[in-house]
A and B are shown apart, each in its own frame.
Chain A
């Protein structure tokens, strides 16, 4: 059953990607990207990563779709066809894709219990989480407590991203007079 659901979802993901590449209307592309995010969220639920799925659904399909639509409102909503040949980008993309797939052959099979990642610190967290933090959800105790420093870093990253966007977009736009070339103050 899980294999069937996964195959269906991944096929849909591939189809949507192809449609996005062919599509010239950027509005349709934004909506399709939202659908892509929801499908990705479903894939993550099948993989039992519910909190990542929640993030993907709300950030990928919700907030970023709205931001893309806001951007379209500010710019043009049609993509102009590129006159150059697509052969070189296609070659680069296929090459990198093949290299990544070749890289997965050396990884331990998905879900194997004795993979190195499950043997290093994870068993200790699983065993001691309740004893040391009284928090039954190990994901939370690892994120906020055992790896608290990393999460502090992530919060700072979000903060930096927010400040960057505010600095770039907010504040009065400078306007220049077409005749004299001087800056016009006020709206």
Chain B
């Protein structure tokens, strides 16, 4: 599909909007529907569309396979370690109140953002890594 002009230009036009929508869904998750999971899938779908039109090799230059595969455990690590500081202050694991001890609800808000960041990283990279794994199979 690399030579189809309409598909190529159409994809180029739609890609930035997909990415912005993914970020909107992520950072607006506290106020509207959505959150890390949905945002991660939409962002991964953006790169998968890119690779369908421009080829997996071009996409791997944007999001290298090694980086994507490191991001899979990184997200889980961010999520799991976001709960640890609370234990130092004798609170329950994953109690985000610790991030702002003077005004605990605010700390909870910060903690949710941190945790959602872990979720989006894992979901995005897992979807992309699975797609890359299929792509490798086809080319060899």
Contact = CB atoms under 8 A, between A and B. Distances in A.
B54 interface: no
Nearest to A55: B38
A169 B119 CA distance: 24
A169 B35 contact: no
Contact of A74 (B33, B37, B94, B137): B137
Interface in A142-186: 143-145, 148-149, 151-152, 155-156, 158-159, 161-163, 165-166, 168-170, 173
Contact of A134 (B75, B106, B115, B131): B106
A122 interface: no
Interface string B75-119: 110011001000000000110100000001110110110011011
Interface in A102-156: 131-137, 139-141, 143-145, 148-149, 151-152, 155-156
B115 A151 contact: yes
Nearest to A51: B33
B contacts with A: majority SS: helix
A71 interface: yes
Interface string B41-79: 110110010001000000000000000010011011001
Contacts of B132: 170
Contacts of A71: 134
Contacts of A59: 41
B45 A63 contact: yes
B38 to A, nearest CB: 5
A contacts with B: majority SS: helix
Nearest to A128: B105
Contacts, number: 148
Nearest to A159: B76
Contacts of A143: 35
B138 interface: yes
B133 to A, nearest CB: 4
A70 to B, nearest CB: 4
A3 B125 CA distance: 39
B109 A134 contact: yes
A28 interface: no
A54 B135 contact: no
Contact of B131 (A51, A63, A136, A168): A63
Given A134-B105, A137-B30, A162 B41 contact: no
18 contacts: A50-B33, A54-B25, A55-B37, A63-B44, A63-B45, A74-B137, A133-B112, A134-B109, A139-B33, A143-B35, A144-B111, A162-B72, A162-B122, A162-B127, A162-B130, A165-B130, A170-B136, A187-B140
